[in-house]
């Protein structure tokens, strides 16, 4: 199984769902992504980061 990185569009969708108070499990099911992947992103949002912050951090670490 190969890992497909989240796109900026997907991160923005996750952020939108999160701000609408959707649970990570619901977001994962809607997007067809692993629950852990969504939890990782949501935890960054809880720390005050945005989808764009997450994307830039990923690009720096790549």
**pLDDT tens digits along 5-41:** 899 999 999 999 999 999 999 999 999 999 999 999 9
Give the rounded distance of the alpha carbon of 15 from its chain centre.
Answer: 7
3-state SS assignment for residue 34: coil
| pLDDT of res. 61 | 87
Give the integer Cα–Cα distance in Å for 38 and 44. Answer: 10
**Residue-level pLDDT at 40:** 96
Assigned architecture for domain 8-61: Orthogonal Bundle (1.10)
Helix axes 35-46, 24-31, angle to 10 degrees: 130
pTM of the entire predicted model = 0.89
What does the alpha-carbon distance between residue 20 and residue 14 come to, in Å, rounded to a whole number? 10
């Amino acid at each position: 199984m190969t890992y497909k990185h989240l796109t900026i569009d997907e991160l923005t969708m996750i952020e939108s769902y999160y701000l609408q108070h959707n649970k990570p499990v619901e977001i994962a099911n809607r997007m067809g992504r692993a629950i852990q992947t969504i939890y990782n992103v949501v935890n960054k949002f809880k720390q005050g980061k945005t989808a764009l912050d997450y994307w830039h951090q990923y690009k720096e670490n790549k």
